[in-house]
Amino acid sequence: MLSASSRLLVFDESKTRAIFEGNPQLVEYFVGDVDIDFKNDRPFAVIYVKLQLLRRSGFIIMNVYIPSLLLLVISYLTLYFTPTNFQVRVLASLTSLLVMATLYTQASSSLPKTSYFKMMDVWLLSSIFFIFIIIVLHTIIDRVREWEPTKPSAALVGQATLPTDLSSGTKSSPSNTVHPSEGATEGDTPTGPAEVEEPQQKWWEAVDLCMKEAVAKIPTLGHRPRKTFEKMILGARIFVLALLIIFNITYWSVILH
């Protein structure tokens, strides 16, 4: 009110008050305290009404924080996928990154325009950065896995040590079976049919030998040395999890302070 001189009109601070009569619960805000500021010492008496708007935390938590946190968890869980399935791990991380970028654009458009970073901007940009780190780690781990030399499998080694020559049908080790042709002099003819070894007996001996070799290797299975990319996967899981924990503790400490 600027139409009356302070010599003719002066506001009474003890009897003047402002009351908000509308619905205090808005979509993103709720109305807080209503304050009045008087300026009677000026050439024209002025009264200012200050209306406090407080942001509703439930709206931001449900539409920004929970979706972005779920996307971070999904991106982190890609570190537990099968290391050989590179496409699935990268596609899941890239999809989370694209959705996070879309969420950041949508949230920024609904917030007031400022020249400084808001805490919402810090949260969403940090989430995008974490997903980017996970994608880089997936790429490095896959390159190391391809460069690492492969060793022959235990099945092939065990097959090479079998004493039974399955292709020729005879045993490489000495056998107790005596054929009629053995021990006979030259020119002698066998008087009866040659003794044929049962194939089931040969099959059982081969399986029995494989089982013995497998049982012999059981105590050493737990002490198998890890490959380089497996060590990198374990390190990436610990590194990303530590970053997320430290960031969340710092962020929420500043927010709730």
- Joined together, the tokens standing for residue 10 give 């002066």
Tokens of 207: 């399986």
Q: What confidence score (pLDDT) does residue 214 get? A: 59
Q: Which of 169, 159, 132 is nearest to 214 (CA)?
A: 159
Candidates 142, 143, 138, 132; CA nearest to 243 is 132
pLDDT at 201: 54
Pairing assessment for the beta strands 170-171 and 164-165 based on DSSP bridges? antiparallel
CB 16, CB 37: distance < 8 Å:
no
Q: Which residues of 39-72 are buried (b: 16+ CB within 10 A; e: fewer)?
A: eeeeeebeeeeeeeeeeeeeebeeebbeebeebb
DSSP assigned state of 41: S
- pTM higher than 0.95, yes or no? no
Bridge-partner residues for 171, per DSSP? 164
Query: 3-state DSSP call for residue 5?
Result: strand
Q: What is the pLDDT along the chain (257 residues), one digit of tens a residue?
A: 455 666 667 777 777 888 888 888 887 788 888 888 887 777 777 788 888 888 888 878 888 999 999 999 999 999 999 888 889 999 999 999 999 999 999 988 888 788 888 888 999 999 999 999 999 999 999 888 888 766 554 444 444 444 444 444 444 444 444 444 444 444 455 555 555 555 555 666 766 666 666 555 544 445 567 788 888 899 999 999 999 999 999 999 998 87
